[in-house]
Amino acid sequence: MPPEARRPAAGAAVLRPDVTDAIRDAVLQELAEVGYGRLSIERVARRAGVGKAAVYRRWPSKLPIVLDVVSGLAAQSLPTPDTGSLYGDVRALLDVTAKVLQHPMAAQILPDLLAEAARSPELGQTLQSALREAQHGIVTAMVGRAADRGELAARPDPDVAMDLLAGPLYWRLMLDRTRLPAAYLDRLANAVVAALAAAE
Amino acid sequence: MPPEARRPAAGAAVLRPDVTDAIRDAVLQELAEVGYGRLSIERVARRAGVGKAAVYRRWPSKLPIVLDVVSGLAAQSLPTPDTGSLYGDVRALLDVTAKVLQHPMAAQILPDLLAEAARSPELGQTLQSALREAQHGIVTAMVGRAADRGELAARPDPDVAMDLLAGPLYWRLMLDRTRLPAAYLDRLANAVVAALAAAE
């Protein structure tokens, strides 16, 4: 084997994956603690226990790191519920969505990023495609099965279906972080099932 | 008239209402431009064309000014639609809500404040009562009239009703600020009417 095959090509740095992971974790923790606006490469490096150069070798600036970390999170999509009935699936999806949105990290990071997205079209675009892609697969599988079972006469418009499943919970939890009774989720699930049947 | 009646009591500063209005406007503009996190009394005073003392004579710090300005805005509540049918009322309310949420100032300020509310319970509490009080009156009047007309067999749970009317639009507009076709609003209105009938 010629010697150069054992060495990385000139300019291609060897990036230790454990350092990359530590930086990613630090970005998430900083996003939750101080928010996008006050996050800095210096703070991220300090929290990750690395030098600023280690960060800059991987990402050129703050926006690309955040885009990268957020896309990675959204790609770990929720499991699609498959309970055998549309009501059961909707109720299960509302339950897991509520848990995700109430997780202290998501509860802080998501509203921050959505607020920042109004100022940064690039961040807005990444958030939109990451979140909607994750949502789209779950929702179309769920309503597709319901249509196959004859529970829905027609497939609902996917945009309306996604917004009905995520929107009410998000709005509720943004305004009131303290309570989310099971009776509320039961009623909302009933209402969303009726709405899906009318949203073609 | 004795001379002291023409003078304010000792300690009660005379606050010119035009200066108060200029400060309130400056707060809104700063919230839209730099967000809650970066807003400062100094920036507000500069934008309003007054000294910092003029601000401090009215409010002791940043949080109370913002609470005051936001409560004032929310109190200018939307008119309750009264078209004669539940579908007509829902469609009209979605239309006006979409316009408000897409207004450049609301589109920037509301997500910022909701993000900040996760860090400031006092701000969260004020936002919650201001927004939900405004919403509650409109929604209960609307579904009350629909129940009286026999369009709804029972009055839907007000929490679920409010979240169905505001949540899907808010979620959609946070993620996608560019498009909101009339066909989407028509479908969403149909879906929400069906949901309200199932949300008792």
Residue ranges of the domains in chain B?
A: 3-72, 77-197
Residue A1 pLDDT > 60: no
Predicted confidence (pLDDT) per residue in B141-191, tens digit: 999 999 999 999 999 999 999 999 999 999 999 888 777 889 999 999 999
Dihedral sign of CA atoms B65, B70, B73, B77 in order: negative
Check if B170 contacts A (Cβ < 8 Å): yes
Ranges assigned E (strand) in A152-199: none
CATH placement of domain B3-72? 1.10.357.10
Q: In this prediction, does ipTM exceed 0.85?
A: no
Check if B154 contacts A (Cβ < 8 Å): no
| Closest-CA distance of chain B to residue A118, Å | 6
Cβ contacts (< 8 Å) between B166 and chain A: which residues? 171
Cβ atoms within 10 Å, residue A19:
16
Best CATH choice for the domain B77-197 from the list 3.40.980.10, 3.30.420.10, 1.10.357.10, 3.60.130.10: 1.10.357.10
Please report, for residues A161, B148, B173, the alpha-carbon distance to residue A167 in angstroms, rounded to integers and kept in the order given. Answer: 10, 28, 10
Cβ atoms within 10 Å, residue A136:
16
Please report, for residues B31, B39, B41, the alpha-carbon distance to residue B56 in angstroms, rounded to integers and kept in the order given. Answer: 18, 15, 8
Of A38, A118, A191, the CB nearest to B107: A118
| Closest-CA distance of chain B to residue A95, Å | 15
Nearest CA-CA partner of B128 in A115, B136, B32, A182 = B136
The reply to whether A3-62 and A77-197 are identical in fold is no
Mutate to test the interface with A, among B174, B184, B185 (most CBs of A within 10 A): B174
Mutate to test the interface with B, among A70, A97, A160, A186 (most CBs of B within 10 A): A160
Check if B35 contacts A (Cβ < 8 Å): yes
> Which DSSP letter does residue A85 get?
S
Domain A3-62 has CATH 2.160.10.10: no
Query: Are B174 and A117 within 8 A, CB to CB?
Result: yes
Check if A180 contacts B (Cβ < 8 Å): no
Check if A169 contacts B (Cβ < 8 Å): yes
Predicted confidence (pLDDT) per residue in B92-120, tens digit: 999 988 888 888 777 888 888 888 888 88
Query: Are B164 and A195 within 8 A, CB to CB?
Result: yes
Nearest C-alpha in B relative to A111: B115
Q: Phi first, then psi: what are they for A157, rounded to 5°?
A: -55, 125
> Which DSSP letter does residue A198 get?
T
- CA end-to-end span of chain A: 63
Helix ranges (H only) for chain A are 3-6, 17-38, 41-48, 52-58, 62-75, 86-102, 104-117, 121-148, 158-175, 182-197
Predicted confidence (pLDDT) per residue in B51-79, tens digit: 999 999 999 998 889 888 877 776 666 78
Query: Are A169 and B174 within 8 A, CB to CB?
Result: no
Check if A82 contacts B (Cβ < 8 Å): no
Give the type of residue at A200: E
| Segment of A83-92, A94-103, A133-142 carrying the highest mean pLDDT | A83-92
Q: Give mean pLDDT, residues A80-95.
A: 95
Dihedral sign of CA atoms B25, B29, B30, B32 in order: positive
Q: Which residues of A147-160 are buried (b: 16+ CB within 10 A; e: fewer)?
A: beeebbeebbbebb
Cβ atoms within 10 Å, residue B7:
10
Six-digit token string for A87? 């009501």
Q: What CA–CA distance (Å, rounded) separates B17 from B103?
A: 26
Cβ contacts (< 8 Å) between A184 and chain B: which residues? 157, 159-160
Check if A39 contacts B (Cβ < 8 Å): no
Cβ contacts (< 8 Å) between B168 and chain A: which residues? 160, 163-164, 167-168
Cβ contacts (< 8 Å) between A118 and chain B: which residues? 107-108, 111-112, 177
Q: What CA–CA distance (Å, rounded) separates B125 from A178?
A: 11
Dihedral sign of CA atoms B105, B106, B111, B116 in order: positive
Percent of chain A with pLDDT over 90: 50
pLDDT of amino acid A127 = 84
**Residues 101..120 of B with a Cβ closer than 8 Å to A: which?**
107-108, 111-112, 114-115, 117-119
Residue A72 pLDDT > 80: no
Higher per-residue pLDDT: A200 or A2: A200
Check if B191 contacts A (Cβ < 8 Å): yes
Nearest C-alpha in A relative to B168: A167
Nearest C-alpha in B relative to A177: B118
Inter-residue contact A112 to B115 (CB < 8 Å) = yes
Inter-residue contact B116 to B165 (CB < 8 Å) = no
Please report, for residues A39, A47, A53, A171, the alpha-carbon distance to residue A42 in angstroms, rounded to integers and kept in the order given. Answer: 8, 9, 10, 34
Query: Are B172 and A172 within 8 A, CB to CB?
Result: no
Predicted confidence (pLDDT) per residue in A88-102, tens digit: 999 999 998 888 888
Six-digit token string for B71? 């409560």
Six-digit token string for B139? 């929604």
